[in-house]
Structure 1
Amino acid sequence: MPKPFLVLQLRPETEAADDEFAAILRKGGLEEGQVRRIRLDQEDLPGDLRLDALSGVIVGGGPGCVSDAPEEKSQVEARIEAQVLSLMPEITERDFPFLGCCYGIGILGKHLAGDVSKRAHSEPVGTSACEVTAEGKDDPLLDGVPTAFDAFVGHKEALQALPQGCVHLVRSEACPFQMVRHGAHVYATQFHPEADADGFETRIRIYRNKGYFPPETADELICMCRAAEVFAPEMILRNFVARYG
């Protein structure tokens, strides 16, 4: 029997977490029996967790920021960050299949002692015009992905520079480091590879008072998402599952 993928979720809002999980399954071509889901807002990583028993690790997005000062993080956010970071030494040392989505690029950057901050390159909720780099064109996770594509984004912090040992795969004007790879199998995206218009509409409604955008612009953002043509990012998630499943 194939090994499951571990899906780590960070969102404390059940509706947002359930919607994200359903999107990961749908866009990755996965069934629930092919994954092990852990909501880190509700439970810790099990003490007997072994990477050898998994096909790969997928980390979803969340409202926390790794660059926030310790006193700015809630107890839940701090615990979630510590839990995910606890896996990263073994993941990077072994070059174990990993796909960090949005929050995951901050986790990878922090683990690698990279510059993750709110100094520049944040993006409001909406779409970002992304471009595959020369190195990205040869990467298997970008197989079939157009050289230029739109992706859903919404983040307060970002990588300010490429961390040591990483390859730059996707860029945009607003946020240079949209997708990176460490080693051969450890990936992270700033955009959301699982997100579609319906999912982002749900998140806009849930996070309208979380500081990502002025609350009064929520309806306008929902209309923008419905009009957007976002189809390429999910190919990255599907390629990850196909390569390592």
Structure 2
Amino acid sequence: MSSVLYVCVRPERSAADAEHRSFSRDLGIRDLDRLDLLHASLETVEWEQYDGFVIGGSPFNVTDADKGDEQRVVERDLERIAARAIDGKAAALFTCYGIGVVTRMLGGEVTMDHPERVQAARIRLTEAGAADALFGPNAPEMSVFTAHKESAAETPPGAVLLATNDACPVQAYRVGNRLYATQFHPEASPQDFADRMAVYRASGYFDASEYAATEKMVLASSVDGADLLSRFPSLLG
């Protein structure tokens, strides 16, 4: 059993497997434990024994009007992980879809007003971000991969804004000392993101007619997200 649990919320097996490998690589944890919430709930593992959690992305949206029971159960379990991190009993990093779950849980608004298509976006670290254990070494700016349809309208109650940009005001925040939420995907290398594009080609994250050009742009990008994940284990214990 590793000290960190990768929590998967992707229905697409190939994308889920690749995301697991990406987190394992960047965390420096060779045998990173994994739980696929679409196939098993938190109760199927000894989840409270883990010191840390990393939550991957998903094509789900918190703002979906036609949620099925499966998605509702997933969001309930993600909230349980977030609550444990807020209480300081574990460290957790929620990415993309996960920031929406945490934002709503905190009483914030999730909106469709700030979407970002597939790109390597520049984000600015706030003063709090520059002083943060995970983000600080990358101050004053970072380049990260984004691809999302919804986001937090503003920093939710109880959270500290760590990163922003003009396209999406809430790129990352921290709650307490051990819960982090990012709108972007820190685990994806250029090749990882290009491979993910192939899975979600018809999902509206980019213009499918511009696939080749978008893929070329992604592969030519340089991003800093792996830096955050390499420092995440320092939060454990």
* TM-score normalized by the length of structure 2: 0.93
Letter in 1 for 2:13: T
Whether 1:65 aligns to 2:61 is: yes
Instruction: Give the gaps of 5 or more residues in structure 2.
Output: none
C-alpha distance in structure 2 between counterparts of 1:207 and 1:3, whole Å: 30
Is this contact kept in 2: 1:23–1:194, CA < 8 A? Answer: yes
2:111 is matched with which residue? Answer: 117
Alignment: residue pair count: 237
C-alpha distance in structure 2 between counterparts of 1:134 and 1:89, whole Å: 26
1:162 is matched with which residue? Answer: 155
Structure 1 residues 141-187: Cα deviation after superposition (integer angstroms, max 9, x where no partner): 12421411211000000000111111111111111111100011110
1:13 is matched with which residue? Answer: 12
1:46 is matched with which residue? Answer: 43
Instruction: Give the gaps of 5 or more residues in structure 1.
Output: none
Deviation at 1:74, TM superposition (A): 4.2
After the TM superposition, which of the residue ranges 159-168 and 83-92 deviates more from structure 2?
83-92
Structure 1 residues 183-238: Cα deviation after superposition (integer angstroms, max 9, x where no partner): 111101111110111111111100011122222122111001011111x2111111
SS at structure 2 position matched to 1:135:
helix
* TM-score normalized by the length of structure 1: 0.90
SS at structure 2 position matched to 1:27:
helix
Residues 50 and 149 of structure 1: is their aligned pair in 2 closer, same or farther, counting only changes over 3 Å? closer
1:164-243 matched pairs, under 5 angstroms: 164-230=157-223, 232-243=224-235
Is this contact kept in 1: 2:81–2:92, CA < 8 A? Answer: no
C-alpha distance in structure 2 between counterparts of 1:43 and 1:20, whole Å: 18
C-alpha distance in structure 2 between counterparts of 1:54 and 1:83, whole Å: 15
Q: What is the aligned-residue identity percentage?
A: 31
C-alpha distance in structure 1 between counterparts of 2:120 and 2:216, whole Å: 12
Is this contact kept in 2: 1:3–1:55, CA < 8 A? Answer: no
C-alpha distance in structure 2 between counterparts of 1:13 and 1:225, whole Å: 21
Letter in 2 for 1:49: E
Is this contact kept in 1: 2:9–2:57, CA < 8 A? Answer: yes
- CA root-mean-square deviation: 1.8
C-alpha distance in structure 1 between counterparts of 2:89 and 2:120, whole Å: 31
